[in-house]
Structure 1
Amino acid sequence: MLKSHFSWNWLLTVLVLALLFLAFCTLNSFYVENLGRNLMAEASFISSSIKVALDSGRYQEVQNVAATFRSRFSKALAIVDGRGNVIASSGEIKLKDLPLKDVLNGKKYVDKDVVRIGVFRRFRAAVPVVLENGAALAVVVGLLPGDIAKILSINLLFFVLTFLGVLFSTFMWKRTNSLIKPLETMVDVTRNFAQGDFTRTVHVNSQNEIGKLSRELNLLAKKLRMTLEENEENKTLMSELLKSLEDGVVVVDVETRIVFVNASACKLVGADTKRAEGKKLISVIRHYELDEAVKETINRGIPNYKEITLLPSDKTLKVSITPYRNKKEKIAGCIIVMKDMTEIKRIEKMRTDFIANVSHELRTPLTSIRGFVETLIDGAYQDPTLAKRFLKIIEKEVGRLCRLTDNMLDLSRIETNQLKLNIKDVSAEEIIREVMIIFENRLKEKDLTYYEKFQENLPKVKADPDWLRQIFVNLMDNAVKYTPSGGKVWIEAESKGDVVEFRVCDTGAGIPEEDLPRIFERFYRVDKTRSAGSGGSGLGLAIVKHLVKAFGGDIWVESKVNQGSKFIFTLKKA
């Protein structure tokens, strides 16, 4: 009888040991693998996020990213170059035993040996990042010492529980029947744990070892559930971070199906986020070269860089394509980062056009001056009448150069906020009437009709009186210049809300609809052949626009070909 009791006791002990060992192996493996995948994902994300900054040599920005990563995710980070030097870091992380050479050659690495993790107090993941110049760096993400201590505590807890189980089974052989049901329950619960379900718990209403064991198992399940929830929160936070980036981010699998796409990418390519995910890349972004570059990256496993233009929007995108690997070190897809270069290209074109236009505007009067000077040197100076005529022409061209130079300097000072404005309450009516005295003769010469339509008791406005006068001079000059004989020119003004709206109108040639968006650009002319002999610098409307903006107002134009134009601008009331 006693022998049978001991045999049953040892059988029960083996059962408890097997149960606890199963729980330990399953839960520990699940936890460590899940944590390793998270570290690998975070390292891949950081490598894609800092690549552009590394290519540009902005190491301070990289350090800021490292510091932000440490504070937001409570993990250590280090960026290591090919010589083992740490470029940027945040938090305590050990690089000993890290296969840096393999990582720099394109392999990803993660610590998976739990025993060695406990001995050396480190748990790290490392991924390579290849710069545009071919240099390779390693991004290393690791747990902080306190988090590793938590892993060791969990392992220790399992061993303690195992020991308690053995002790319990040895001394509770008289109550074998009462052990069977709780143990069966724990087996079922452990199976649920192995499947990732930590919601079910063990309920044993006793104060003995079985009750304690069940409570410890429930506590363990709670901790693991909290850890998984924290990991899910980190994933959600990372997803939100990707969504908030100004650069477009698209993640595709090996079949070029879109796994993730942020709002910025959808905005760039004109797609819907929900409809884009799960579709082929080429069906969302219809660009053959981009699709081929993505396939090449997936097939060869090396980064790719492209500059593409999307039609019909004519957007220019700088695209960085980086492969990512799964835990088996096989390529699982690639990450596409798109940066909108359209505005930069437009500014570059404006700069080139500006240089060309300035050169053209300077070349015409200089060529004329040079020709007349050479003629004078060749003997024309001996003829007083001819010499006087040439000198007047030279004087006129020099005046044109001076006006162009003055206008360019004024525009430069206005654009760079270097112009000192004397903003005060101004009567626009008085300034307009002063300006019209200047144009009396020109109006008579061209047989133009001029009149005013002012609201009664027109309020004063906030502006610099001298520069406000210049605004009306420039607009009236264009109205008179491009209105044929017998036409009309007039100025309207009325109060609207907290602003006063002014309209300089004419019945001139008008402006084609396609030219309206560019009418305020420097040197832009609607009809260059007609404008070439007008004597203008091509800067008048650009100066007007920037002055109105400096006064806190707005300006636009309404025009139809052969029906005239209205230049409308608003100024704040005094």
Structure 2
Amino acid sequence: ITGYATLELAVRTTKLGAYDFVTKPFTPNELLGVVERGLEVRRLTLEARSLAEERDRRLLEIATEKSRLRTIINCLADGVLVINRERQLVLYNPAILTLLSLKEAPRLGQPFEQYLPNPEMATLLAESLSSPDSQYSRVAREFSLDPEGKTVVMANVAAVRDENGQILGAVLVLRDITQLKELDRMKAQFIAMVAHELRAPLAAIKGYLDLILGDTVRDPAQIRHMLERCNQRGEALLALIQDLLEVSRLEAARTFRRIEQLPLADILQSALELVSPQARTRKVSITCELPAELPLLQADREEMIRLFTNLLSNAIKYNREEGKVWVETKVEEPYVRIDISDTGVGIPREALPKLFREFFRLRTPETKYVTGTGLGLSIVKKIVDAHGGRVEAISELGEGSTFTVYLPLPEQVGKST
């Protein structure tokens, strides 16, 4: 309110934030009108500021949510690819590039078909855009991504719809199931092998017993021989079942292990005592060369004894009569190394990678009469792996074999003599 109003003054005060001005003389109604206009301007200003703040907050939330969604999609192990109604690529993640072996990143807005190497997969995704079903539906199908069938994926395809059920696009999710398919194959093979290994001794036992019970054989010496064979087959069957139980126990996620500090010399001595009758029968000599000081192991006693018993037993079984077995140990930081060598028949080079598989048996003229379950070395590897070590084998056919076990040393453990 001023009595010296000029246009210049009005402009300056407005720039300083004045809503309006009134010059003298004025009536109360004129003053009231100016004040009301000022209050309305103030209200509108505050409302505009609030709307701007709300807009900024929403934009930030959208940007944050979009970033979060993008991060989640990028971190997925499954490949994700999204297209719009025009069959143009609108979204993908790095995993899809790996699965599809794409050397260059796809360009958004391009037709998606050029990025899918399998025509059937592209057709499946395109068909989802014309799905008549207004509800959510998903189609799952297996595809091979290469002619050799080395990489197998499960493709899940679904249409993307709005709240009214209208199709906006489609999403393709690829999951690599190559390992699952291999596990299924190995499982079927394992079951077939177990069935065969169980059936063979049972059939032999039943055959001998049928002959005895049917009075087909009456000679006491022959009957005794058959009963001895039944006993041998029964022992082989029991050994197979025990090994199967051991494999199952070692593969169980919650296997309990009594980890303690163990003198390596005591473990090796216990294993040697267990195989000494077998060595005497085969006339195999065992030499154990141990240094004056041996480290302690941080391990499960029973599993360590089983580990070295299996290796020593194999060294005896696959040895020549009056052959030799050597046991040597030395420290190779951060491991203790145990070598078990023999003068046996040896292992063909092509068989070495298969040694630690379940039920693998060496089939040569020299080993066809050797009995066993084919699980001993697989048990060895599972025990070594469970204790953070590794096991290796070197051999030449006819020249014997050496199995080397590396077990980690405890970080702060004393020495035992």
TM-score band, normalised by the shorter chain?
0.7 to 0.9
Q: Which residue of 2 aligns with 1:261?
A: 92
Ranges in structure 2 where 5+ consecutive residues have no aligned partner: 1-5, 21-36
Whether 1:554 aligns to 2:389 is yes
Q: Which amino acid aligns with 1:276?
A: P
- How far 1:337 moved relative to its partner? 1.8
Q: Which residue of 1 aligns with 2:212?
A: 376
**How much identity, in percent, do the aligned residues show?**
23
**Secondary structure at 2:294 match in 1:** coil
- How far 1:536 moved relative to its partner? 0.6
Query: Partners in 1 of 2:264 and 2:85 — Cα distance?
Result: 68
Residue pairs, 1:275-314, within 5 angstroms: 275-278=105-108, 281=112, 283-300=114-131, 303-311=138-146, 314=150
- How far 1:520 moved relative to its partner? 3.0
Query: Partners in 1 of 2:402 and 2:226 — Cα distance?
Result: 37
- How far 1:339 moved relative to its partner? 2.9
Whether 1:324 aligns to 2:155 is no
Q: Which amino acid aligns with 1:346?
A: E
- How far 1:283 moved relative to its partner? 4.8
- How far 1:254 moved relative to its partner? 4.7
Residue pairs, 1:391-470, within 5 angstroms: 391-416=227-252, 421-436=257-272, 439=275, 451-452=287-288, 454-470=290-306
Q: Which amino acid aligns with 1:321?
A: V
Query: Partners in 1 of 2:390 and 2:113 — Cα distance?
Result: 42
Whether 1:522 aligns to 2:358 is yes
Contact 2:259 2:298 in 1 (8 A): yes
Cα gap change, 1:230 to 1:558, in 2 (>3 Å): same
Contact 1:511 1:559 in 2 (8 A): no
Contact 2:384 2:391 in 1 (8 A): no
CA displacement, residues 452-491 of structure 1 (integer Å, 9 cap, x when unaligned): 5545512121234343222111012223333556876433
Query: Partners in 1 of 2:171 and 2:178 — Cα distance?
Result: 22
- How far 1:326 moved relative to its partner? 7.3
Query: Partners in 1 of 2:105 and 2:408 — Cα distance?
Result: 46
Q: Which residue of 1 aligns with 2:76?
A: 245
What TM-score does the superposition give when structure 1 sets the normalisation length?
Answer: 0.55
Query: Partners in 2 of 1:263 and 1:491 — Cα distance?
Result: 51
CA displacement, residues 130-155 of structure 1 (integer Å, 9 cap, x when unaligned): xxxxxxxxxxxxxxxxxxxxxxxxxx
Contact 1:513 1:560 in 2 (8 A): no
CA displacement, residues 361-382 of structure 1 (integer Å, 9 cap, x when unaligned): 1111111111212222333442
- How far 1:566 moved relative to its partner? 2.8
Stretch of structure 1 that moved more, 356-365 or 481-490: 481-490
Contact 1:269 1:310 in 2 (8 A): yes
- How far 1:530 moved relative to its partner? 7.6
Query: Partners in 2 of 1:560 and 1:313 — Cα distance?
Result: 34
Query: Partners in 2 of 1:421 and 1:329 — Cα distance?
Result: 56
Ranges in structure 1 where 5+ consecutive residues have no aligned partner: 1-173, 183-202
What is the aligned-residue RMSD (CA, Å)? Answer: 3.9
**Secondary structure at 1:534 match in 2:** coil
- How far 1:396 moved relative to its partner? 0.8
- How far 1:397 moved relative to its partner? 0.7
CA displacement, residues 71-118 of structure 1 (integer Å, 9 cap, x when unaligned): xxxxxxxxxxxxxxxxxxxxxxxxxxxxxxxxxxxxxxxxxxxxxxxx
More helix, by proportion: 1
Contact 1:491 1:503 in 2 (8 A): yes
Tell me which of the two structures has the higher relative contact order, counting C-alpha pairs closer than 8 angstroms and 6 or more residues apart. 2
- How far 1:218 moved relative to its partner? 5.4
Q: Which amino acid aligns with 2:356?
A: F
Cα gap change, 1:480 to 1:226, in 2 (>3 Å): same
Q: Which residue of 2 aligns with 1:542?
A: 378
Cα gap change, 1:456 to 1:280, in 2 (>3 Å): farther
Q: Which amino acid aligns with 2:66?
A: K
**Secondary structure at 2:105 match in 1:** helix
CA displacement, residues 282-311 of structure 1 (integer Å, 9 cap, x when unaligned): 554422321221122234466432122333
Cα gap change, 1:323 to 1:513, in 2 (>3 Å): farther
Query: Partners in 2 of 1:309 and 1:351 — Cα distance?
Result: 21
Query: Partners in 2 of 1:251 and 1:354 — Cα distance?
Result: 40
Query: Partners in 2 of 1:331 and 1:309 — Cα distance?
Result: 28
- How far 1:555 moved relative to its partner? 2.4
Query: Partners in 1 of 2:314 and 2:193 — Cα distance?
Result: 19
Query: Partners in 1 of 2:336 and 2:174 — Cα distance?
Result: 44
Whether 1:509 aligns to 2:346 is yes
What TM-score does the superposition give when structure 2 sets the normalisation length?
Answer: 0.73
**Secondary structure at 2:171 match in 1:** strand
Contact 2:295 2:409 in 1 (8 A): no
Cα gap change, 1:261 to 1:453, in 2 (>3 Å): farther
**Secondary structure at 1:395 match in 2:** helix
Whether 1:230 aligns to 2:45 is no
**Secondary structure at 2:338 match in 1:** strand
Q: Which amino acid aligns with 2:19?
A: Q
Cα gap change, 1:431 to 1:226, in 2 (>3 Å): closer
Q: Which residue of 2 aligns with 1:124?
A: none
Query: Partners in 1 of 2:396 and 2:167 — Cα distance?
Result: 60
Query: Partners in 2 of 1:420 and 1:483 — Cα distance?
Result: 35
Residue pairs, 1:38-437, within 5 angstroms: 205-208=17-20, 212=42, 217=48, 220-254=51-85, 256-271=87-102, 275-278=105-108, 281=112, 283-300=114-131, 303-311=138-146, 314-325=150-161, 331-416=167-252, 421-436=257-272
Query: Partners in 2 of 1:515 and 1:313 — Cα distance?
Result: 26
Cα gap change, 1:511 to 1:267, in 2 (>3 Å): farther
